[in-house]
Amino acid sequence: MKGIPILTILTLLPLFAGIIVAGLGEQRKLARGIAFGSSLLSLALALLLWRSFDAANGQLNQFIEQHQWIPSLGIQYFVAVDGLGLLMVLLTAIITPMAMLASWNIADQADRRGGQDAQARGSNGYGSHLFFALVLFLQAGLFGTFTALNFFHWFIFWELSLIPAFFLVRLWGGSQRAPAATQFFIYTMVGSVAMLLAFLAIFLATGKFDFTALAELGRTGTLASALSAKLGWYSLNTGALTLIIFGGILLGFAVKVPLMPFHTWLPATYAEAPSGVTMLLTGVMSKMGVYGFIRILLPIFGVQLGEPRVQTVLLSLAVITIVFSACAAFAQRDLKRMLAYSSINHLGYCLLGIFAVAKFIGPDADLATQKAAALNGVFLQMFNHGLTAATLFWFVALIEKRSGGLRGLNDFGGLRKVAPIFCGLMGIALFSSLGLPGLNGFVGEFLIFKGVFPLAMCSASLSVIGLLVTAIFILTILQRVFNGPLNEKWAKFPDLSPGEIGLLLIPIVLMFVLGLYPRLVLDVINPTVVQMVEQLKF
């Protein structure tokens, strides 16, 4: 593949396909066909990247493309991947066609609702062609975010993903879609502005936007010195100034994950968004924040992350995110809100692993094996949670379709008797989310706790409460929705059709494969993890 700009092709493919789809008007079948075909082609390219990837090379230098863009401002077109970037590209390529399939008849469903919704989405031109075009634009933004290594270029794609996500929620969401979309946009934009200002300060001090170059400055301590020498705000010393810049970038990523208390936009957005869009939000977009912590914040501001006072705050917030979100999920009665809070809980484990790894940074850094275990667990958790959570929201979409829009925990009961295949497959996905050994959800969480216990025992011990509460509310879903006496209202609740079974078996099989043979992913990401751990010893 030498000489072929495959990362550029991968990023531009959904962008151009989205432009074509947006111009098709009400030709729904053609629009959906082109959009879905583009997503499958992107998946094929991602699999080709995976096959051509040199797993033994942990450096961030594979499929590299680097061209001068605006040299006077230090702006380059610079893309490449390592094990982390490749894993996120593959996750994006898998989740996007799943989300499209879950939204296949979204325009028809909107029309059937009638009234104001149908008018807003139908006669005003908000048809399925625009929906699928926005999904493709979102996919392009995600691909660009996971491959760009220059801040200017990266930030364009970071924001490109926000705009289509906002319109997808605002135009096709539920009855409270307007406030949910606005809250989502404001929270994310505030985080983005804080991050932009921080990076502009870094550029004024160093003249660089390149992530790899900035990481080297951060490791050697040159970045802090440059910030102090070039900016020197009022009476702030070097440490305080660096912490302010660090805090701006931290806020941008904390909102996106989200880390409590910056989470309040997520439950409403996930609940009001169409299920296909929620699949993209939880499956991939939430991983952008975790990716930013690993790719940008940890290498560039590792010293600040490792400071005892910062560690105390961040580890406490990670524990709060894990435990409180699990308790909040248990308190919900809406299935989408339960799964929304569950997503916060699962990503809290990723943050726990990252913050614990940063705890022992310096020339005497030890416990390299534990750090590698924790980071491997974080990588796996990102991928596995994306797959499992997206599949669960797909099942919720099917429940809503069969019940006329109902999705309350107490709206059902005994569905296992009339829809055993549906309940069996969704049960597997729920047990994966619970972390049952043999399924993909177990491996990542196990590795995170294996690595974190020696690094931050108190935080890890408290976080175990989140595992217990997660098991309780997952079993509650199984009991209330699938077991118990059959509600006669659902005596004719249809089971999965052969086509639906065939589609849902793909992620279900992946859950078993990754649970029983995690080396399929670990062999690819471990060299990258080892390289990252080695670079933290400065």
Is residue 19 situated within a structural domain? no
Q: Which of 22-36, 242-256, 288-302, 506-520 has the lowest mean pLDDT?
A: 22-36
What's residue 230's pLDDT?
78
pLDDT digits (tens, 9 = 90+) for 257-272: 999 999 889 999 999 9
CA atoms of 70 and 62, how far apart (whole Å): 23
Phi then psi for residue 79, to 5 deg, are -130, 150
Burial-class residue 305 by CB neighbours within 10 Å (0-12, 13-18, 19+).
buried
Q: How confident is the model at residue 248 (pLDDT cuts 50, 70, 90)?
A: very high
What's residue 470's pLDDT?
94
Q: Is residue 40 predicted with pLDDT exceeding 50? A: yes
CB 381 within 8 A of CB 442: no
Is residue 408 situated within a structural domain? yes
Is residue 353 situated within a structural domain? yes
pLDDT digits (tens, 9 = 90+) for 207-247: 889 999 999 888 888 888 888 877 766 567 777 888 889 99
At which residue do the structure tokens 């009476």 appear? Answer: 235
Is residue 129 situated within a structural domain? no
The structural domain count of the chain equals 1
Question: What contacts 24+ positions apart, CB below 8 Å, involve 71-75?
Answer: 73/152, 73/203, 73/209, 74/203, 74/207, 74/208, 74/209, 74/210, 75/150, 75/152, 75/153, 75/209
Greatest distance between any 2 Cα atoms in the chain: 74
Is residue 173 situated within a structural domain? no
Strand 62-70 relative to strand 75-81, pairing: antiparallel
Residue of higher predicted confidence among 123 and 29: 29
Residue range(s) defining the domain that contains residue 479? 307-538
pLDDT digits (tens, 9 = 90+) for 143-157: 999 999 999 989 999
- Convert 281-323 into a string of H (helix), E (strand) and C (coil): HHHHHHHHHHHHHHHHHHHHCHHHHCCHHHHHHHHHHHHHHHH
CA atoms of 340 and 269, how far apart (whole Å): 9
pTM across the whole model: 0.93
pLDDT digits (tens, 9 = 90+) for 302-321: 888 888 889 899 999 999 99
Q: How far is CA 517 from CA 386, 437, 522, in A?
A: 18, 12, 9
Is residue 241 situated within a structural domain? no
